[in-house]
Amino acid sequence: MIELRNINKHFGERHITKDFSCKFEQGKTNLIIGESGSGKTVLLKCMVGLTNVDSGEVLYDGQDFLKMSIKEKQNLRKEMGMLFQGGALFDSKTVEENVTFPLSMFTEMTVEEKAERANFCLSRVNLKNVNNLYPSEISGGMKKRVAIARAIANSPKYLFCDEPNSGLDPKTSILIDKLIKEITLEFNITTVVITHDMNSVMEIGDKVVFICNQQKWWEGTNENILHSDNKELGDFIYVSKFLKELRDKQP
């Protein structure tokens, strides 16, 4: 489980988050939603230590991440997997080398064992015959899937996804969402997904946290989000005329 307590972050005069507190449970896909520029990615980066917080606590199964030494943070990070917005695959390495990289760094696996694990992870994300291709030779959707394969290669306890389906067509988006959900259940990991895609929310949102005005504005599940009477959340969800009409027709 990951717990955030009173996280504050600001860049200069601009506040990004104010007293943000939340719990993300194991074996569930926890979604953080909000408008572009609402500070979702910064919050995620604060959680994994890529950005320093001004004050607050980030607890991983009760251990305060922010108070850890560099070495302790590095050890904890070996249990994390992260899917970046652009994939962040290593350009100079092939797909297989990307997937086996964490294994090469932190395990004593043989070349054959690593190849076997890479094939398993790639098949898990429905990719075949791409092992020897470079990231520049595959599509955006495939890059995302390779990034997921790399993130799960070392069997992480925590999975972070920063807008996993941005720039993807609806069909591939749903495929990626389903993958994240399946992997979360299969490996019983704590997954935190940043998104502003309502399809993702309805598809995989076991727990949904809505950020507005630099604060946690609403918290619930995908089942009760549509019936929420929170005005800001309603404005975020029912942004189009079509959706507003659909809401008004609801009993």
Partner 1 sequence: MMRQVFSKPEKLVVYKNEFFHEIDNLGINSLPIIAIISFFMGAVITIQAAFGFTSPWVPIYAIGFTARDSMVLEFSPTMVSLILAGKVGSNIASEIGTMRVTEQIDALEIMGVNSKAFLILPKVLACVLINPFLIIMSMFLGILGGFIMGVFTHVVTAYKYIYGIQYQFNSFNITYALIKTVVFAFIISSVSAYQGYYTEGGALEVGRSSTKAVVYCSILILVFNFLLTQLLLA
Interaction site with partner 1 (CB under 8 A)? 45, 48-50, 70, 74-78, 80-82, 84-86, 88-91, 101-102, 104-106, 154, 160
Which residue's CB is nearer to partner 1, number 105 or number 241?
A: 105
Q: Whole-number minimum distance, CB 133 to partner 1, in Å? A: 17
* CA dihedral sign, ordered 46, 206, 27, 101: negative
Q: Whole-number minimum distance, CB 227 to partner 1, in Å? A: 36
Q: Whole-number minimum distance, CB 243 to partner 1, in Å? A: 32
Q: Whole-number minimum distance, CB 159 to partner 1, in Å? A: 11
Backbone phi, then psi, for 132, in 5-degree steps? -100, 10
Terminal CA-to-CA distance of the chain, rounded, Å? Answer: 37
Query: In this structure, what token pair is assigned to residue 20?
Result: 């943000």
Which residue's CB is nearer to partner 1, number 50 or number 246?
A: 50
Which residue's CB is nearer to partner 1, number 75 or number 132?
A: 75
Which residue's CB is nearer to partner 1, number 157 or number 244?
A: 157
Q: Whole-number minimum distance, CB 179 to partner 1, in Å? A: 18
Q: Helix crossing, 95-106 with 140-153: angle to 10°?
A: 20
**Helices marked H in the chain:** 40-48, 70-77, 95-106, 111-124, 140-153, 170-187, 198-204, 231-237, 241-249
128 CB contacts (<8 Å, ≥6 apart)? 122
Which residue's CB is nearer to partner 1, number 151 or number 212?
A: 151
Which residue's CB is nearer to partner 1, number 71 or number 241?
A: 71
Which residue's CB is nearer to partner 1, number 154 or number 184?
A: 154
The C-alpha atoms of residue 225 and residue 236 are separated, in whole angstroms, by: 11
The C-alpha atoms of residue 103 and residue 150 are separated, in whole angstroms, by: 9
Q: Whole-number minimum distance, CB 215 to partner 1, in Å? A: 26
Number of CB atoms found within 10 A of residue 52's CB: 9
Q: Whole-number minimum distance, CB 184 to partner 1, in Å? A: 17
Q: Residues for the chain: how many in total?
A: 251
Quickly tell me which residue has 């993702």 as its tokens.
Answer: 200
The C-alpha atoms of residue 36 and residue 16 are separated, in whole angstroms, by: 12
